[in-house]
Homo-oligomer: A and B are copies of this chain.
Amino acid sequence: MTFGRVAVVGLGLLGGSVGLAIADNLPDCTTTGYDADPATRLRAAERGLVNRVCDTAAEAVAGADLVIFCVPVGAMGDAAAQIADALPERAIVSDVGSSKASVAEALRAALPGATVIPAHPVAGTENSGPDAGFAHLFRHRWCILTPPADADHAATARLSAFWEALGARVEIMDAAHHDLVLAVTSHIPHLIAYTIVGTASDLEEVTRGEVIKYSAGGFRDFTRIAASDPVMWRDVFLSNREAVLEMLGRFTEDLTALQRAIRRGDGEALFDLFTRTRDIRRSIVEQGQDDARPDFGRSDH
């Protein structure tokens, strides 16, 4: 049922964490890895992110029964094309991309006939690169699989078992629905964080030094999100354009209504919203997706 040989293509935060999590949780599984950046390959070998770092993607996937693409979503098609001739016939192909419909299309176009089961572990930090990964990244996090309608059930079940072995909880979802859900819970929050940090750094009346000094009032939490990998996020917004624009439209409507409430001095409307939003926080903490402790439970890592 489990995989004997996993190839990880892309050895940044996600790819490195996959390799380390396999080493921790699936001792019988050997891993190979490849990254387009030679410096990343060198560092990945030093840290032992996978058992063997290869000089080409084709070399990495030879003999693999699972290939996981951990590159920015805009680079999936090119990365897949590099291994098209080397991919073992019975290997399952998957990924960790944050948008799913466009990635599924890119992988299937580059690898016609391959068994492609796209996946998205909803986990990450603001750090990136081969030094950022850690074995527990996926523990207690959700991993969403978006198998196509005609997918092989046994393949989906094997991939589910794999992610569960790494500590994740697995959910199966339609790719289009995934893209809508993640637009709300991840993409729009990132877009907003990038925007406000940009706005703050362009002001003339308030210096950048002042913004930094007084960031503890709320702003600093946005800067953490806005420090995420620029290439990864550029690709997410381009590849999930439709759902992002749809959700952004809803957000802008709601913000305009709040703006009007402030202008009119409508304290009741403000109070009502501010009270309602507390409940969601409570549910998130109760369901273990965040922690009420001052360190958010991050000391568990």
Of the 9-residue stretches A8-16, A18-26, A84-92, A275-283, which lies at the interface with chain B? A275-283
With A250-B203, A254-B195 already in contact, the answer to whether A225 and B221 are too (CB < 8 A) is yes
Distance (whole angstroms) from the CB of A143 to the closest CB of chain B: 10
In the assembly, what is the distance between CA of A274 and CA of B238, in Å?
Answer: 13
Of the 9-residue stretches A35-43, A108-116, A261-269, which lies at the interface with chain B? A261-269
In the assembly, what is the distance between CA of A283 and CA of B181, in Å?
Answer: 33
Judge whether A180 is part of the interface by a CB distance below 8 angstroms: yes
Q: How many identical chains are in the complex?
A: 2
**Nearest chain B residue, comparing its CB with the CB of A293:** B298
Which of B217, B259, B283 contacts A98 (CB under 8 A)? B217
Contact B221–A221 (Cβ < 8 Å):
yes
Interface size on A, residues (CB 8 A): 102
Binary CB contact string for chain A from 177 to 198 against chain B (1 if under 8 A, 0 otherwise): 1001110111111111111111
Distance (whole angstroms) from the CB of A271 to the closest CB of chain B: 5
Contact B215–A290 (Cβ < 8 Å):
yes
Which residues of A (50-72) have their CB < 8 Å from a CB of B?
A: none
In the assembly, what is the distance between CA of A27 and CA of B197, in Å?
Answer: 41
Which of B197, B202, B259, B275 contacts A248 (CB under 8 A)? B259
Which residues of A (276-296) have their CB < 8 Å from a CB of B?
A: 276-278, 280-284, 287, 289-290, 294-296
CB neighbours of A220 from chain B (8 A): 284, 289-290
Which of B190, B212, B224, B230 contacts A283 (CB under 8 A)? B212
CB neighbours of A213 from chain B (8 A): 142, 171, 287, 289
Distance (whole angstroms) from the CB of A253 to the closest CB of chain B: 8
Of the 9-residue stretches A75-83, A118-126, A154-162, which lies at the interface with chain B? A118-126
Contact B265–A212 (Cβ < 8 Å):
no
Which of B142, B196, B234, B287 contacts A271 (CB under 8 A)? B234
In the assembly, what is the distance between CA of A178 and CA of B134, in Å?
Answer: 41
Residues of A within 8 A of B (CB): 74, 98, 122-126, 141-142, 144, 171, 177, 180-182, 184-203, 205-206, 208, 210-228, 230-231, 233-235, 237-238, 241, 244-245, 247-248, 250-252, 254-255, 258-259, 262-263, 265, 267, 270-271, 273-278, 280-284, 287, 289-290, 294-296, 298-299, 301
